[in-house]
Structure 1
Amino acid sequence: MVENNGVIASATGQFARRTLFKGGTAAAAVVVLSPGTAHAASAVFRHGVASGDPLPGAVILWTRVSVADDATPGSGLGAPATVHWEISANESFAGISASGTVTTTADTDHTVKVDATGLAPATDYFYRFTALGETSPVGRTRTAPANDSDVERLRLGLVSCSNWEAGWFGSYRHLAARTDLDAVVHLGDYLYEYGRGKYTGRSGAVRAHEPANEIVTLADYRTRHGQYKTDPDLMALHASVPFICTWDDHESADNSWREGSENHDPAVHGPWSARRAASAQAYLEWMPVRATRTGTEVQIYRRLRFGTLAELSMLDLRSYRDHEAGPGAGWRNADDPARTITGRAQMDWLTAGLTSSPAQWKLIGNSVMVAPLVFPPLEPATTQAITEALGIPQGGLTVNGDQWDGYTADRRTLFRTIADNEVGDVVFLTGDIHTSWAADLPLNAADYPGGPTVGAEFVIPSVSSSSVGDLLKMPPRTTSVPAEEAIKAANHHLRYTELDSHGFGVLEVTPAQAQMDWFYVADVTDPATGVRHGVSFAVPAGGRIEPRPTPLH
């Protein structure tokens, strides 16, 4: 199936993993190395291949065809191209499991999205595309287990916040070197919208954004997506494992909400609705995600099942939210029951799914932190007067109103639904804040650890975007350490925080527990950076977060 403007049209249709792309400039050919083979890919497929959203019998396949040297992403140039695709359980493609032919044009920026159906559950597949007389690199993917199957283990890579100018994507390279992942979950900020040099890392820009301006138009967003897809480490990861993605704010503009963004000036940038539509269209063209469209509305919140072991609900917390609460008297808005971060339809969908899921583990792909991060967590029985006098939300003074802390009514609804329906084994997987956290989720933070909890949250660091340590411009693990201890002292449910390092997470889910391991790269300004294991925490089935001395292998 090929997707046009975000709508997928019908077409019929053993990770022996290691695919390394060497190269990465937009005009260069790419060399792909896989076990026992080497393929030289022409510049026709200079943006690589990708897969995503695995189902028991289907998976999205993606590529882009460069039909001419001047038909660059966002150019609007280039003739239509006929593209043949095929997927096989054999690396030699001796037997074809599904195949088809689609036509791509400048209307979709010459991207190709195929929903390859008729596949077997829990099966490793190889796929490739052919166009203009050339064959693409070979990608690997994997379908999900059958919904009713007993699954002993699910292992996911988790990433977020990859800023091209702030650093190299070493986290992607180290994830691509693993041979044990069922999928990679990208929790948002896959790219950044800023103009050249406007948001860089500790050492300034390590490479320059294209286009040079802040991206606003459809052509701009397409150009920026195309640039990110030339990163060799990102290309390698996409080719080795399926992605499950949601967007956060920087795929459109910083601190975006339903009707605008902190960095969007209608007098300068034009209507927010036009910019938001342009960013969404480019995202759906360039990312291997399933989406549904009703008129002009695009829905990307969705669920994926992994047998009876786990169900993953991917949220969209940008398209439907109200403007965030602000300092001073505006903090009162955080408690307003009329305000929402999810939108009513998505909240109904989320709570209904949690209370009816047949899977043991309920995983939630969540772009902004849900655990309370407040100073201090106040006793509800004694805070009404303080709240009314000072405008401090009942849960405490919110550090970041862009998180669920700025939408406490929605969080209470969600947490109370989990508690009242005795929904067990709920784990939120979160990105956004460029730092690492492990948290129990109490119904009332001031009562922790004596009161009930409704689940746990694991927050992963950024791939490259500036951390707190970067912004302080102090040596790592110096100034930030006492800050971490002060945060945990004021918020007892926060079991771990690390404010300096960049990296990724690996989540292993078994019937006994859900364990997150944090991995940290040494230097995002070094394209060959090494990686180290940071820490391991796990949630036992039916329990609360505990540290683990043994990392995942």
Structure 2
Amino acid sequence: MNHPLDRRAVLRATGAAALGVAAATALPTTSLAAAADVPVFGHGVASGDPLPTGVLLWTRVTPTPESTPGSGVGPEIEVRWEVSTDPGFGVLAAAGVTSTGPARDHTIKVDVGGLSPATDYHYRFTVSGVRSPVGRTRTAPAADAAVSRLRFGVVSCSNWQAGYFAAYRYLAERGDLDAVLHMGDYLYEYEPGGFPVGSYVRPHMPPRETVSLADYRQRHAQYKTDPHLQRLHASCPWITTWDDHEVANDAWSGGAGNHTPGTEGEYAVRKAAAHRAYFEWMPVRNAGDRLYRRLRFGKLAELTMLDLRTHRSQQVKALSGEVDRPDRTIAGAEQLRWLIDGLVGSSAQWKLVGTSVMITPTLIPPLPAELLGPLLKLLGLPQEGGAVLTDQWDGYTADRRKVLKALAEHKVKDTVFLTGDVHSSWAADIPADAGLYPLSPSLATELVCTSVTSDNIDDVLKVPPRTASVLVEKAITGLNRHIKWVEYDSHGASVLEVTPAGTQMDWYYLADRTKPDSAVRHGRSFLVKAGTQRVQSVTNPLV
């Protein structure tokens, strides 16, 4: 792997114009949409799912002013793509021509092969003489390579309406990331004013809840106009999964909490539209409608990204014994077998698992009503309280037992679950029996990133940070001894470093999510030493 300082130098050499959004309108134009002051590449460029010899490239073309996202109109058009180790594109590593049109909302995905492992590349698109901004990407190390270090940005829950994406800006400015992992809720389906209760900074478009294919295409397009999001997409590859809001809140295989068949049609039609738009607009590989997949990073790490919405059973109420039914599943039988076989059979040292909802067993303690109510609302639980978080793995205990049993029986070491969803920060051991911990051994660990913007406890209660939430945090860690840390107030991004000696996550927090230029500070850091299956607090963030 290159030293991160080398990659910063590459980014500086590329120049701000290469990564900036403004580059799309500063380039030569022809008779395309740019002639009418509509940027041809107004949604930026992106890359994703890096392999040792390839990477997926993405962009969206607006060939005419009428060819707006979701419109279904506009011409078929040919687009040239180029990849080079040289930011000036003096020598090309790969190039080609592809086409797009209204059938795929004028989006482009190119799966480029024939590249070298562990190498920085620059890429761009050209249509009728108009060039896109330049993006930077990076291939994964060879599968048998000895890798000394990997660094990933880890983010989730980026609600456009609740604030600006300054957390993305921070990650883009670092210049030392091999990839960004987005753990779900890349966008939200709500109408303007829907869902945010702490702040309402900028309205959603279209001005309604997303239900149709055109709606989801327009919502994806809106998010990709954010300059910080565009900059981070252009700075390194992304590896993403979805959670519920990419379709609808509290989604399961046959419906969602935020879907009303009587007025919003069949859920299967809505889900298909949302999935189609996601695969059009995101730099992600898919086999049909299958999102779960694995990516290898040398001998050091294997990353498993799960889909925990498409195949799951419907959620049950808290306090219900239904959570233990053996026929209930969060992953689906096929994906669960695939997950377990991958963990048991992996030859990589670190087994990283991207899971959109928490797998750590969590009991909700008795709290004053003014605290318990907002907490349960935030976690999607019935307001009368409950002992388990039924939208998480706590609501599907049979699947969790199968995973933990396999880790124990096969003595699998160094498994770390990476999670989003709960708009808060967590570091936890995952014991074989949470009730007997610490006598029961820890079989894995979980590190949970907070939200980029979505509301958490202080936002819901409309109180100053580090006031009411402190009581909630102490109650949770007191009742759940395997949970070492919870922080319920802050928004931001995390950075994960993986080395042979250990895996460390640093949490970085925004001063104010409502400001696009918000300052960022280091919050906490936790380390999982190799072979321990336990988290421990450390003082210093990664250099």
TM exceeding 0.5: yes
Q: Which amino acid aligns with 2:306?
A: L
For residues 152 and 264 of structure 1, the distance between their equivalents in structure 2, rounded to whole angstroms, comes to: 47
Q: CA deviation at 1:446?
A: 1.0
Whether 1:303 and 2:294 are equivalent positions in the alignment is: yes
For structure 1, the 5+ residue unaligned runs are 1-13, 33-40, 378-395
For residues 503 and 535 of structure 2, the distance between their equivalents in structure 1, rounded to whole angstroms, comes to: 9
Q: CA deviation at 1:17?
A: 2.5
Contact 1:157 1:184 in 2 (8 A): yes
Q: Which amino acid aligns with 1:327?
A: A
Q: What residue in structure 2 maps to residue 391 of structure 1?
A: none
Q: What residue in structure 1 maps to residue 274 of structure 2?
A: 279
Contact 1:518 1:535 in 2 (8 A): yes
Q: What residue in structure 1 maps to residue 312 of structure 2?
A: 321
Contact 1:165 1:201 in 2 (8 A): no
For residues 485 and 110 of structure 2, the distance between their equivalents in structure 1, rounded to whole angstroms, comes to: 41
Q: What residue in structure 2 maps to residue 208 of structure 1?
A: 203
For residues 59 and 132 of structure 2, the distance between their equivalents in structure 1, rounded to whole angstroms, comes to: 9
Residue by residue over 1:37-63, the C-alpha shift from the partner in whole angstroms, topping out at 9 and shown as x without a partner, is: xxxx98110100000000000000000
Q: Which residue of the other structure, out of 146, 149, 167, is the alignment partner of 1:150?
A: 146
Contact 1:20 1:236 in 2 (8 A): no
Contact 2:318 2:388 in 1 (8 A): no
Q: Which residue of the other structure, out of 430, 436, 457, is the alignment partner of 2:419?
A: 430
Q: Secondary structure at the match of 2:174?
A: coil
Q: What residue in structure 1 maps to residue 246 of structure 2?
A: 251
Q: What residue in structure 2 maps to residue 224 of structure 1?
A: 219
Q: What residue in structure 1 maps to residue 467 of structure 2?
A: 478
Q: Secondary structure at the match of 2:230?
A: helix
For residues 185 and 116 of structure 1, the distance between their equivalents in structure 2, rounded to whole angstroms, comes to: 20
Q: Which amino acid aligns with 2:410?
A: N
Q: Which has the higher helix share?
A: 2
Q: CA deviation at 1:397?
A: 5.1
Q: CA deviation at 1:311?
A: 0.2
Q: Which residue of the other structure, out of 283, 290, 305, is the alignment partner of 2:285?
A: 290
Contact 1:23 1:31 in 2 (8 A): no
Contact 1:157 1:183 in 2 (8 A): yes
* Residue 242 to residue 42, structure 1, CA distance change in 2 (3 Å): farther
Whether 1:61 and 2:57 are equivalent positions in the alignment is: yes
Q: What residue in structure 2 maps to residue 71 of structure 1?
A: 67
* Residue 201 to residue 90, structure 1, CA distance change in 2 (3 Å): farther
Q: CA deviation at 1:95?
A: 1.0
Alignment of 1:488-527 (within 5 A): 488-527=477-516
Q: CA deviation at 1:274?
A: 0.5
Alignment of 1:44-443 (within 5 A): 44-203=40-199, 205-293=200-288, 298-328=289-319, 331-375=320-364, 398-443=387-432
Q: Secondary structure at the match of 1:349?
A: helix
Contact 1:81 1:132 in 2 (8 A): no
Contact 1:517 1:536 in 2 (8 A): yes
For residues 137 and 375 of structure 1, the distance between their equivalents in structure 2, rounded to whole angstroms, comes to: 48
Q: CA deviation at 1:400?
A: 1.9
Output the aligned Cα RMSD. 1.8
For residues 524 and 277 of structure 2, the distance between their equivalents in structure 1, rounded to whole angstroms, comes to: 37
For residues 492 and 247 of structure 1, the distance between their equivalents in structure 2, rounded to whole angstroms, comes to: 30
Q: Secondary structure at the match of 2:211?
A: coil
* Residue 138 to residue 24, structure 1, CA distance change in 2 (3 Å): closer
* Residue 55 to residue 24, structure 1, CA distance change in 2 (3 Å): closer
For residues 506 and 23 of structure 1, the distance between their equivalents in structure 2, rounded to whole angstroms, comes to: 23
For residues 20 and 254 of structure 1, the distance between their equivalents in structure 2, rounded to whole angstroms, comes to: 37
* Residue 397 to residue 99, structure 1, CA distance change in 2 (3 Å): same
Whether 1:528 and 2:517 are equivalent positions in the alignment is: yes
Q: What residue in structure 1 maps to residue 458 of structure 2?
A: 469
Q: CA deviation at 1:483?
A: 1.1
Q: CA deviation at 1:325?
A: 1.6
Q: Secondary structure at the match of 2:160?
A: coil
Q: CA deviation at 1:398?
A: 3.1
Q: How many residue pairs end up in the alignment? A: 505
Q: CA deviation at 1:23?
A: 8.1
Q: Secondary structure at the match of 1:373?
A: coil
Q: Which residue of the other structure, out of 11, 17, 36, is the alignment partner of 1:17?
A: 11
Contact 1:326 1:401 in 2 (8 A): yes
Q: Which amino acid aligns with 1:487?
A: I
Contact 2:38 2:65 in 1 (8 A): no
Q: Which amino acid aligns with 1:549?
A: T
Contact 2:21 2:133 in 1 (8 A): no
Q: Secondary structure at the match of 2:279?
A: helix
Q: What residue in structure 2 maps to residue 447 of structure 1?
A: 436
Q: Which amino acid aligns with 2:500?
A: P
Contact 2:318 2:386 in 1 (8 A): no
For residues 91 and 17 of structure 1, the distance between their equivalents in structure 2, rounded to whole angstroms, comes to: 9
Q: CA deviation at 1:375?
A: 4.2
Q: Secondary structure at the match of 2:242?
A: coil
Residue by residue over 1:43-85, the C-alpha shift from the partner in whole angstroms, topping out at 9 and shown as x without a partner, is: 1101000000000000000000001112110011111111000
Q: Which amino acid aligns with 2:115?
A: L
For residues 80 and 268 of structure 2, the distance between their equivalents in structure 1, rounded to whole angstroms, comes to: 35
Q: CA deviation at 1:20?
A: 4.9
Q: Which amino acid aligns with 2:473?
A: E
Q: CA deviation at 1:157?
A: 0.3
* Residue 216 to residue 42, structure 1, CA distance change in 2 (3 Å): closer
Q: CA deviation at 1:549?
A: 1.2
For residues 42 and 274 of structure 1, the distance between their equivalents in structure 2, rounded to whole angstroms, comes to: 32
Q: Which amino acid aligns with 2:253?
A: R
Residue by residue over 1:425-464, the C-alpha shift from the partner in whole angstroms, topping out at 9 and shown as x without a partner, is: 0000000010000000001111111111111000000000
Q: Which has the higher strand share?
A: 1
Contact 1:292 1:299 in 2 (8 A): yes
Q: Which amino acid aligns with 1:361?
A: W
Contact 1:480 1:500 in 2 (8 A): yes
Contact 1:42 1:134 in 2 (8 A): no
* Residue 512 to residue 31, structure 1, CA distance change in 2 (3 Å): farther
For residues 349 and 50 of structure 2, the distance between their equivalents in structure 1, rounded to whole angstroms, comes to: 19
Most deviating of 446-455 and 108-117 = 446-455
Q: Which amino acid aligns with 1:550?
A: N
